[in-house]
């Protein structure tokens, strides 16, 4: 079905279930419980899960298939955001033209940068992409201020010359991004007892884009083109000895990966019409690399899991403070309560990076294949345990 193998189709169904049922999956605890702190089923965070999932899936096409490690992919994310906001300012508040322009402009930038950077390989390629990204960040932050808004970022204004749409609403406000009249921020709540589940139109739009992007990634992975990229990763020098020019294949992978990043940038601007230079910093590129490695380089679902894992820690663990910890340990004597808060304090709030770093170390040391490898080992353990149980049941006890 959909020209996919059975295993790939099942994987596609798994991603579809995780994204479409996210409001239920990410809100496991009652709203009025102490554990509600760990709920993540609100629109802004769910949108970030899927948008950064798209970004990581695209990056994995380059890094996972070819082995070329780019430290400049955040530049394409930023370019896509700027292109989308300019489309909102000049044309209309419909998100489709903005996203199309984001993908096209990011692909053009990726073509130029990739053509130059791919003249080198290994660490030299990585440094070149990092240099280009930092150059673009510097241009966006200072030199191109009339176009990018500088350090304040590019925002919508009441006097924007919007061709196909009003510059302001009848109430005098700035219009919001929409899809043929349906606003991205439109939501409704489903109350089931002590649980509240929020369904947001913008999130489901991003989720459908993620599913389409994931399907395209599967087709690329299983295509002759994907096989050629794997050969480049395996032994590019041997391929060059055969007389085959591998640069067009690696450049195509770089451009496709950059277009994925532009798509993510366009979606970010569609959810929140603001573009800033901070999205193009080298730290943002490092976060993309971290997502891919944490989830599983070269796997299909790994980057999606890695993106969700990091964004969950960034948004949930960073909000936990000493007051929350005191509420959790209030049942303990005062001395033990304060001691527990003192021990855990460095790992939450502003120290969430420390917790993430420790988890990343554990994954790299014990699960080199990332979270996907962990899931595979866990599934194999359950399967082995089930087989042992069936074997023990099937044994025939000798008659006494």
pTM: 0.91
CB-based contacts of 46, cutoff 8 Å, min separation 6: 22, 23, 26, 40, 200, 203
pLDDT tens digit string along 303-360?
999 999 888 888 887 888 888 888 888 888 888 888 898 898 888 888 888 888 888 8
Closest of 260, 270, 255 to residue 88, by C-alpha: 270
Q: Phi then psi for 291, rounded to 5 degrees?
A: -60, -45
Is-contact 340 325, C-beta < 8 A?
A: yes
Q: How far apart are CA 202 and CA 186, in angstroms?
A: 7
pLDDT score at 395: 56
Read off the pLDDT of residues 92-120 as tens digits, 9 standing for 90 and up: 899 999 999 999 999 999 999 999 999 98
Q: Which residues of the chain have pLDDT under 70?
A: 389-400
Instruction: At 318, list the tokens.
Output: 């960073």
d(CA 356, CA 333): 30
What per-residue confidence (pLDDT) applies to 283? 85
C-alpha to C-alpha distance for 230 and 328, rounded to whole angstroms: 49
Between helices 352-366 and 282-295, what is the axis angle to 10°? 40
Which residues, including other chains, have CB under 8 Å from residue 355's CB and lie 6 or more apart?
A: 313, 317, 347, 348
Q: Kindly list the domain boundaries of the chain, sorted by start residue.
A: 6-28+41-298, 320-374
Q: What is the pLDDT of residue 282?
A: 85
Helical (H) or strand (E) element with 275? strand 274-275
Q: Which residue has tokens 């204004």? A: 157
- Report the distance separating Cα 350 and Cα 281, nearest Å: 20
Burial of residue 117, with CB atoms counted within 10 A of its CB: 0-12 exposed, 13-18 middle, 19 or more buried: buried
Is 188:202 a contact under the CB 8 Å cutoff?
no
What's residue 150's pLDDT? Answer: 86
Q: 199: which strand partners?
A: 188
Give one word for 196, left, alpha or beta, with left for phi > 0 and alpha for psi -120 to 50.
beta
Do the beta carbons of residue 236 and residue 245 sit within 8 Å? no
Instruction: Determine the pLDDT at residue 383.
Output: 83
pLDDT of res. 399: 44
Query: Tell me, what's the pLDDT at 392?
Result: 66
Q: For residue 43, give both structure tokens.
A: 């629109």
Beta bridge partners, 25, equal: none
User: So what's the pLDDT on residue 393?
Assistant: 63
């Amino acid at each position: 079905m959909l020209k996919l193998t059975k295993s790939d189709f099942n994987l596609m169904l798994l991603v579809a279930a995780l994204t479409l049922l996210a409001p239920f999956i990410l809100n496991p605890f009652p709203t009025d419980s102490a554990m509600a702190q760990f709920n993540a089923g609100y629109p802004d965070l769910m949108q970030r899960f899927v948008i950064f999932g798209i970004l990581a899936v695209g990056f994995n096409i380059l890094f996972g298939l070819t082995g070329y490690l780019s430290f400049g992919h955040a530049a394409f994310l930023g370019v896509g955001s700027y292109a989308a906001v300019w489309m909102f300012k000049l044309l209309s508040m419909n998100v489709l033209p903005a996203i199309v322009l984001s993908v096209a402009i990011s692909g053009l930038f990726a073509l130029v940068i990739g053509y130059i950077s791919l003249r080198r390989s290994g660490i030299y390629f990585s440094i070149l992409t990092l240099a280009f990204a930092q150059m673009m960040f510097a241009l966006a932050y200072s030199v191109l201020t009339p176009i990018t808004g500088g350090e304040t970022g590019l925002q919508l204004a009441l006097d924007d010359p919007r061709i196909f749409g009003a510059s302001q609403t009848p109430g005098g406000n700035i219009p919001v991004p929409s899809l043929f009249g349906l606003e991205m921020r439109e939501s409704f709540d489903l109350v089931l007892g002590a649980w509240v589940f929020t369904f947001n139109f913008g999130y489901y739009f991003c989720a459908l884009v993620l599913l389409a992007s994931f399907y395209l990634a599967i087709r690329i992975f299983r295509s002759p083109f994907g096989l050629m990229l794997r050969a480049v990763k395996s032994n590019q020098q041997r391929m060059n000895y055969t007389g085959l020019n591998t640069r067009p294949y690696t450049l195509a992978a770089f451009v496709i990966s950059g277009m994925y990043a532009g798509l993510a940038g366009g979606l970010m601007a569609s959810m929140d019409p603001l573009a800033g230079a901070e999205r193009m910093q080298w730290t943002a590129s490092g976060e993309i690399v971290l997502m891919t490695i944490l989830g599983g380089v070269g796997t299909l679902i790994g980057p999606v899991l890695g993106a969700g894992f990091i964004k969950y820690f960034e948004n949930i663990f960073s909000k936990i403070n000493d007051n929350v910890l005191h509420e959790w340990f209030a049942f303990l004597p005062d001395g033990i309560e304060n001691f527990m808060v003192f021990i855990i304090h460095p790992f939450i709030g502003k120290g969430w990076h420390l917790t993430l770093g420790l988890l990343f170390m554990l994954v790299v040391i014990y699960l080199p294949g990332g979270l996907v490898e962990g899931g595979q080992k866990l599934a194999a353990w359950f399967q082995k345990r089930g087989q042992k149980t069936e074997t023990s049941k099937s044994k025939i006890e000798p008659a006494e």
